[in-house]
Amino acid sequence: MEKVPLKETIKNITRLHLSKGNPLFGQCITAVGWVGGTIPEDGENLTELPMADVMNGGVVVGSALAGKRPIYVVRYQGFQWFNYSIIANYAGRSSALWKINCPIFIRSIAMEGGIGPVAGSSHHGLAFRMPGVKICAPMTSREYTEIYNTFMQDECPYYVSEHRVSHSFTGSLVDIEVENPDWVLFPYSITRFAAKEAAEERGGVSVYHQVWIRPLGISERQIEKLKKSKYGGVVIDDDYPNGIAKQIAHDLMLKSGKKVYVLALNEVVAGFQPHNDNLPPDKNDILSFLKSNE
């Protein structure tokens, strides 16, 4: 499975999902590229939504309430500021308040580089603000398949934080565990690739790849390893730091008694040109951050 590009895995899962009579909704899903090659061109039950982001979530929620399990494709995570309102305030509360399940598989796709102030980066912190929706960030074919299978056995909405860069990835991301590490890294989303590179170059660094944001996927074993670290831990994310990343870091500090830092996007608005872009931490950013806090 890990030798198959993630985009092919997503396409195959989608084709199977649609063949069972479940719908897929989104904007420009059949346009050039078919969402980066992740939508089957021979797929049935595809519905193009209008360019009215605020109401589109309501259409998808209605489909789920009618007994379907829709896939909802949002091509840029920044557009969730418009699309996510009805998901959070209805789908995420439906089971608890009205005993009516509302399962939706939300493909929330992130990009970086020349995308501008609205469309770029991950925004899973936005989804975390309200309860009722499970949040994850798979970067490999195996992870994506496991999450989809879990969703099909579940009854609530899933916010699946994707990243375009990962769509061509064919490998696996394996934890790096050092017995008595200098640092322990907890990377999310696209930063997992950079964290792996940084740890391999520096040495003495443990990396625990994180897939689940809600429920949080950090194990007791990982916390025990954090306790043994020399300098503490770093939560690394592709979202803004003043949100879920700092909350996770706070929880880890309380459980471990160690300092846990946050390395994420800069607190600035992204532009369209390289000199004013706002990119996630890369390998060099991580190495520099570790050195400056030792």
pLDDT, residue 115, reads 86
Q: How do residues 24-50 score in pLDDT, each as one tens digit?
A: 999 999 987 899 999 999 878 899 999
| pLDDT, averaged across the chain | 94
pLDDT, residue 229, reads 97
pLDDT, residue 114, reads 83
Domains of the chain from N-terminus onward: 6-168 (3.40.50.970), 183-292 (3.40.50.920)
Q: How do residues 230-281 score in pLDDT, each as one tens digit?
A: 999 999 999 999 989 999 999 999 999 999 999 999 999 888 888 889 999 9
Beta strand 105-110 pairing with 71-74: parallel
Instruction: Compute the distance between CA of residue 191 and CA of residue 29 in angstroms, rounded to an integer.
Output: 27
Helices and strands: H and E segment counts in the chain: 12, 11
pLDDT, residue 120, reads 85
Q: How do residues 123-177 score in pLDDT, each as one tens digit?
A: 998 899 889 999 999 999 999 999 999 999 999 999 999 999 999 999 999 999 9
Would you state the structure tokens that stand for residue 39, as one six-digit string? 């939508």
pLDDT, residue 206, reads 98
pLDDT, residue 51, reads 84
pLDDT, residue 2, reads 65
DSSP conformation letters of 120-132: -S--HHHHHTSSS
Instruction: Compute the distance between CA of residue 116 and CA of residue 119 in angstroms, rounded to an integer.
Output: 6
> Measured between alpha carbons, how far apart are the two ends of the chain, in Å?
39
Whether the per-residue pLDDT at 1 is higher than 60: the answer is: no
Q: Which residue has the tokens 């860069």?
A: 165
> The pTM is what?
0.95
